[in-house]
Amino acid sequence: MLTRHRVVFQDAADLSFLDAASVDLVLTSPPYPMIGMWDKSFGRRDRRIASALREGDGGRAFRLMHEALDGVWREAHRVLRPGGFACIVIGDAVRSLRGRFALFPNHARILQALLELGFTPLPAILWRKQTNAPNKFMGSGMYPAGAYVTLEHEHILIARKGGPRNFPTIEEKRRRRESALFWEERNGWYSDVWFDLKGTRQDRLSTGGRNRSGAFPFELAYRLICMHTIRGDTVLDPFLGTGTTLRAAAAAGRNSVGCEIDKALRAEIFADPAGWLPAARRRAASRLEAHRAFVEARRAAGKPPQHVSRRYGFPVVTRQESELWIPLPASARREAEDLWVVSYDTPPDLCPGASPPAAGTAPPARRPGAAAAPRPLRSASQRG
């Protein structure tokens, strides 16, 4: 299996290099309006923004910055397939202008833009970040009626183009079954508040300099991709930045297309795969290790899972997990200046089993019986 990861260095307001309905997920984090580090970038696009900021007219600057982003959301809607998802990571801004402290609700403004484009809004995730400065007060300190709540979260907006996606072919249905999540992953990942991202081991999968680049954590992108696409799908990030979405898509066995206006980021996006590929592989493989630990804990608690993985031989909680396969990235080569091609280990064989459960149905009744012995993970040197 191969996946392809292409980057186009240009303004994302024009995605005409992509056909309509050609992308399965848009996952991105735009430059945040009214956050100081993006002032210059917005000001370069529209001189009225720079003058609104100079004049301390926050409301006008906020409106113009969002108007600059609106064209990208329009393009995102065009290139998404029906039933495809958009996941947009965005923080609100707080800022004092003309001596007045105010919130600029970026997430509400972007959600409104998505609604106007015809997206179907879906329950969102609050990404609760651990603060680096819990005692940094905003406003009047200990005195009430003038102190402000500290913003310690960002929003992950989730919307869909139209209704639920169809999986019409036998091949798509199979890829969907193979892309199932483990039951215990599903329980955590579909929570509406994510507390646990800061502690994730990131290696070189995300840039350490979030303050410098606005990069989001690799784990955030990896989860959202696994939750909203199936293996072999294509993920678009119109504001690619340092390339976190590209590396997460590669780790998950999905294709990706990125758009980035700043050519200086090419060196970071196309960094030597020896630096990021082993970490991407470790993250994918860690899902199998975490599942084995989960099974052991369930056994110790006297509640062993009752179904069996037909690829790995270990027990799983539901029959929907029985064909699950986690692609393990094995190598990456730069096939053209702005194109990575990633190859993967050969999947473990699918042992014969019961016919697959219908999608959208509740997990069927458990099948009693002992699970087969877990199969060891194949190493890179064993790949076919």
Ligand X SMILES: C[S@@+](CC[C@H](N)C(=O)[O-])C[C@H]1O[C@@H](n2cnc3c(N)ncnc32)[C@H](O)[C@@H]1O
Kindly indicate which of the ranges 6-14, 56-64, 79-87, 225-233 contains the residues binding ligand X, using the contact rule CB under 6 A.
6-14
Residue in 3, 29, 106, 255 binding ligand X, rule: CB under 6 A: 29
Q: Does 202 bind ligand X (CB under 6 A)?
A: no
Selected binder of ligand X within 21, 39, 41, 112 (CB under 6 A): 41
Is position 11 an interface residue for ligand X (rule: CB under 6 A)?
yes
Interface with ligand X, residue 120, by CB under 6 A: no
State which residue, 84 or 214, has the beta carbon closest to ligand X. Answer: 214
- Apex 19 CA angle, 12 and 31, nearest 5: 15
CA 115/CA 379 separation, integer angstroms: 46
Q: Which is nearer to ligand X, 72 or 159 (CB)?
A: 72
Q: Classify residue 163 by burial, with Cβ atoms within 10 Å: 0-12, 13-18, 19+.
A: exposed
- If the CB atoms of residues 200 and 306 are measured against ligand X, the closer one turns out to be 200
What is the gyration radius of the CA atoms in the chain, in angstroms? 22
DSSP class of residue 156 equals E
Kindly state whether residue 250 participates in binding ligand X, applying the rule CB under 6 A. no
Tell me which of 3, 242, 255, 320 binds ligand X, using CB under 6 A: 242
Q: What is the DSSP letter of 359?
A: T
Nearer to ligand X, 7 or 288 (CB): 7
CB 326 within 8 A of CB 377: no
β pairing state of 307-308 and 315-316: antiparallel
Minimal CB distance to ligand X: which residue? 241
Query: Nearer Cβ to ligand X, position 135 or 211?
Result: 211
| 222: contact with ligand X by CB under 6 A | no
Q: Which of 28, 102, 37, 101 shows the shortest CA–CA distance to 65?
A: 37
Binding mask 255-294 for ligand X (x = CB under 6 A): ----xxxx--x-----------------------------
The answer to the question of residue 127 lying near ligand X (CB under 6 A) is: no
Q: 100-104 and 93-97: which strand pairing?
A: antiparallel
Is 239 an interacting residue with respect to ligand X (CB under 6 A)?
Answer: yes
362-368 long-range contacts, CB within 8 A, separation 24+ = 363/317, 363/318, 363/319, 363/320, 364/318, 364/319, 366/306, 366/307, 367/306, 367/307, 367/308, 367/319, 368/306
| Stretch 131-170 residues interacting with ligand X (CB under 6 A) | none
Interatomic CA distance for residues 343 and 341, integer angstroms: 7
Nearer to ligand X, 14 or 55 (CB): 14
Question: Does residue 213 touch ligand X according to CB under 6 A?
Answer: yes
Tokens of 295: 């099974």
Please, which residue, 241 or 253, has the CB nearer to ligand X?
241
Rule CB under 6 A: which residues touch ligand X?
Answer: 11-13, 29-31, 41, 213-216, 239, 241-242, 244, 259-262, 265
